[in-house]
Amino acid sequence: MADTQEIVSVLTESRVFPPPEQFSQRAHIRGMQDYQRLWDEAEKDPQKYWGERAREELFWKEPFQTVLDWKPPHARWFVEGKTNLTYNCLDRHLPRLKDKPAILFEGEPGDRRSITYGELSQQVNRLANGLKSLGVKKGDRVGIYLPMVPEAAVAMLACARLGAVHSVVFGGFSAEALQERMKDAGVKVLLTADGGWRKGAVVPLMKNVEAALTHATGIEKVVVLTRTGDGKLPAGPKFLAWDALVKGQSDTCEPEWVESEHPLFILYTSGSTGKPKGVLHSTAGYAMMASLTTRWVFDLREDDVYWCTADVGWVTGHSYVVYGPLMNGVTTVLYEGAPTQPGPDRFWAIIERYKVSILYTAPTAIRAFMRLGDGPVKQHDLSSLRLLGSVGEPINPEAWMWYRDVIGGGRCPVVDTWWQTETGAIMISPLPGATPTKPGSATFPLPGIHAEILDRDGKRVPRGQGGLLFVTKPWPSMLRTVYGDPERYVKTYFSELPGMYFTGDGARTDADGYVWLMGRVDDVVNVAGHRLGTAEVESALVAHAKVAEAAVVGRPDDLKGTALVAFVTLKHGNAPSDALKKELAAHVAKEIGAIARPDEIRFAEGLPKTRSGKIMRRLLRDVAAGNHSTQDTTTLEDLNVLAALRQNDE
Ligand code: PRX
């Protein structure tokens, strides 16, 4: 059970920024009365409200009759309807937008491509036909392990066209992580590349794939895109060049009209225990909310050049790089590489070059840029920007202000958007033409979203006090299950309070009812905007031959938000050393990926445990942060262990 007593709020922030008047005048939602009206409509008759939104947002091949069938904790939305997400992203725009850029791509080495809606549609159809020729059908799982290149979007859209379920694995994940995910999802075909560019070096994707394939995965075919040009296509009937697959394929492909609830994608995310969870999203509810929230939260207009800097390997890349923007017919920018490659001004150069009007990025990036100073920003004309967004972790007021003043020139509203892989779409966020913002607050839930802060008995906590964030009613883009593990779906999300979705986050509201997120309350830490289950890092450490036991906790960090600290006890006969620390850190990076590499490793004789043998991570969190714990230690088995850990610190 999550511990609400740990949630102590220390932030006091009183600045308020009303939306600029000029912005509001042209916005989709122009004031708090509009917001309130929508909120009331949704509250009064949720079925009518969501039904209307679904009819407006999507093309329906066959209409739905039932808006929601809710048998807690299982929801089915827009039940009898049929649609196709790729049709909604591409085909329906073609009469008007065929020649408009859909994707503006820039590779890290500086190569550029502009792909129109017409061209994108052709590429998607060719790949869809190619996949069909490999036997991919509706419901089959297709893995995607690609760099941030347009083909990543093409791959997702080709799957959706066929009703195949994609499972994208972030290109920064290791061979082990890839193998585990491919196997769990039962992937039949994997789409990958020889490599990608990151920080001036090649990320060896193909090598990782080959290493993954030395274990059982069930993968029948691997389609390899040439991106970096190093390395030959591996020999054997399993491997196929991307170019060869699409060559000669027709550029038309009839979309598979799927039921609303047909699964669209699986995306793995960290949990507090065990292996990563395959979050499963279905088609229509997800599509509808991705489309609606992109338009409302980013106040999209057709002439916007929109740039969300997330990788397609994360849910933000799914909803706000690919599906949301394309459903709205705007131009979306895709950048392959690192933010400071080759220089600290790369992001700002991109904004100037493409006249980006909307920027959506993560607090960790903003803080990193802040450290570099205003200089690199000032070298570029950022006057095209009109709106800024933040996602992935709490944004501290200082970074929020810097973002607003230095990047946005003081004129662009900032939307701090709260959501999760599981929610599929933004849930709590300002609407930029309506909501007065406060630095560091995600403000209010969107109309129809019942995000509530409750105590462990399900009672609403008073304003100002911290509690657990729940979503108390179903919403269309909610996850449908944990792939292959329906019990885990119920246990993880619906067992704190029956029938209500538990987010795992702590939050509070202030005197004006604004929502302030306060971070995770489970053993999941958020490092640089990416969720990591500490249990996964621990099990990677314990897999090392010299490690007996490990506990991993988060420590507040100025740049990354949270740094990972690992407490490690060694097996007999092994001595602590700096070399071993390095070895263990490298081991974790290999097992999971560089994002999980501990920032600090501390050797310990023993770990603090309860009498029942549970590691008391909350005590370790204090030790890691250098705080003297004021916490209850009555269940601690051996007080000396804690004293020894503290001594190590001094
Ligand atoms: O803890 C919250 C944090 O990120 C978690 C979701 O992570 P993930 O599923 O990887 O999705 C990230 C992108 C949507 C949440 O449980 N989080 C996300 N956005 C915010 C946030 N914390 C505070 N403020 C946010 N705006």
Distance separating alpha carbons of residues 125 and 609, to the nearest angstrom: 57
C-alpha of residue 362 to centroid of ligand 1, in Å: 10
Tokens 């100037």 belong to 352
Which residues have C-beta within 8 Å of that of residue 569, sequence separation ≥ 6? 547, 548, 549, 550, 603, 604, 605, 606, 607
Which residues have C-beta within 8 Å of that of residue 295, sequence separation ≥ 6? 28, 328
Which residues have C-beta within 8 Å of that of residue 326, sequence separation ≥ 6? 89, 90, 102, 153, 157, 332
Our mutation pick for probing the ligand 1 site, out of 311, 419, 520, counting the most ligand atoms within 8 A of Cβ, is 419
CB of 562 within 6 A of ligand 1: the answer is no
Predicted pLDDT at 532: 85
Q: Where are the beta strands (DSSP E) in 7-154?
A: 68-71, 74-77, 82-83, 101-106, 112-116, 141-145
DSSP, collapsed to helix, strand or coil, labels residue 62 as strand
CB of 526 within 6 A of ligand 1: the answer is yes
Which atom of ligand 1 lies at the shortest distance from residue 419's CA? 14
- 231, 141 contact by CB (below 8 A): no
CB of 315 within 6 A of ligand 1: the answer is yes
- 416, 432 contact by CB (below 8 A): no
CA Rg value for the chain: 24
- The 10 Å Cβ neighbour count of residue 640 is 12
Q: Where are the beta strands (DSSP E) in 110-262?
A: 112-116, 141-145, 165-168, 187-193, 196-198, 201-203, 221-225, 239-241, 258-259
Ligand 1: residue whose CA is nearest its atom 15: 420
Q: Per the structure block, which two tokens stand in for 492? A: 């993880």
Helices (H), 450-601: 486-494, 534-542, 578-591
Rama region for 645: left / alpha / beta (φ>0; ψ in -120 to 50; rest): alpha
C-alpha of residue 564 to centroid of ligand 1, in Å: 17
- 357, 305 contact by CB (below 8 A): yes
- The 10 Å Cβ neighbour count of residue 598 is 22
C-alpha of residue 451 to centroid of ligand 1, in Å: 14
499 is in an annotated binding site: no
Distance separating alpha carbons of residues 283 and 138, to the nearest angstrom: 13
- The 10 Å Cβ neighbour count of residue 528 is 20
Cα 650–chain centre separation: 38
Closest among 83, 479, 113 to 258, alpha carbons compared: 83
628 is in an annotated binding site: no
303 is in an annotated binding site: no
Ligand 1: residue whose CA is nearest its atom 21: 393
Closest among 572, 586, 568, 542 to 648, alpha carbons compared: 568
Distance separating alpha carbons of residues 155 and 390, to the nearest angstrom: 26
Distance separating alpha carbons of residues 527 and 594, to the nearest angstrom: 11
Ligand 1: residue whose CA is nearest its atom 6: 420
563 is in an annotated binding site: no
Tens digits of residue pLDDT in 198-249: 999 999 999 999 999 999 889 999 999 999 997 789 999 999 999 999 999 9
Distance separating alpha carbons of residues 254 and 257, to the nearest angstrom: 9
Distance separating alpha carbons of residues 337 and 259, to the nearest angstrom: 37
Tokens 């052709």 belong to 122
pTM of structure: 0.91
- 390, 363 contact by CB (below 8 A): yes
199 is in an annotated binding site: yes
Can you spell out the DSSP letters for 420-465? Answer: -TTT-S--B---TTTPPB-TT--B-BPTT--EEEE-TTSPBPPTTS
Cα 158–chain centre separation: 21
Which CATH class for the 14-446+460-507 domain? alpha beta
CB of 337 within 6 A of ligand 1: the answer is no
Distance separating alpha carbons of residues 184 and 377, to the nearest angstrom: 44
Amino acid making up residue 27: A
CB of 316 within 6 A of ligand 1: the answer is yes
**Tell me, which fold does domain 528-649 have in CATH?**
GMP Synthetase; Chain A, domain 3 (3.30.300)
Q: Per the structure block, which two tokens stand in for 229? A: 């040009």
Our mutation pick for probing the ligand 1 site, out of 277, 400, 517, 595, counting the most ligand atoms within 8 A of Cβ, is 517
Report residues of the chain scoring pLDDT below 50.
1-6, 650
CB of 419 within 6 A of ligand 1: the answer is yes
Instruction: Specify the DSSP class assigned to residue 13.
Output: -
Alpha-carbon torsion angle 299, 303, 305, 310, nearest 10: 40
- 572, 384 contact by CB (below 8 A): no
420 is in an annotated binding site: yes
CA distances from 402 to 17, 298, 369, 396 (A): 14, 20, 10, 10
Alpha-carbon torsion angle 337, 343, 348, 351, nearest 10: -40
C-alpha of residue 269 to centroid of ligand 1, in Å: 12
419 is in an annotated binding site: yes
Closest among 321, 416, 430, 366 to 558, alpha carbons compared: 366
C-alpha of residue 419 to centroid of ligand 1, in Å: 5
C-alpha of residue 392 to centroid of ligand 1, in Å: 4
Tens digits of residue pLDDT in 10-64: 556 789 999 999 999 999 999 999 999 999 999 999 999 999 999 999 999 999 9
Amino acid making up residue 33: Q
CB of 394 within 6 A of ligand 1: the answer is yes
Domain boundaries, the chain: 14-446+460-507, 528-649
Which residues have C-beta within 8 Å of that of residue 13, sequence separation ≥ 6? 397, 438, 439, 440, 441
542 is in an annotated binding site: yes
Which residues have C-beta within 8 Å of that of residue 51, sequence separation ≥ 6? 64, 67, 78
C-alpha of residue 391 to centroid of ligand 1, in Å: 7
Predicted pLDDT at 5: 43
Closest among 147, 104, 638 to 350, alpha carbons compared: 104
Which atom of ligand 1 lies at the shortest distance from residue 524's CA? 1
CB of 420 within 6 A of ligand 1: the answer is yes
Predicted pLDDT at 632: 65
Tokens 């990543």 belong to 152
CA distances from 250 to 128, 189, 385 (A): 9, 20, 39
Angle at 427 between CA 5 and CA 496, to 5 degrees: 40
Ligand 1: residue whose CA is nearest its atom 25: 418
CB of 317 within 6 A of ligand 1: the answer is no
392 is in an annotated binding site: yes
CB of 319 within 6 A of ligand 1: the answer is no
Which atom of ligand 1 lies at the shortest distance from residue 421's CA? 9
- The 10 Å Cβ neighbour count of residue 244 is 12
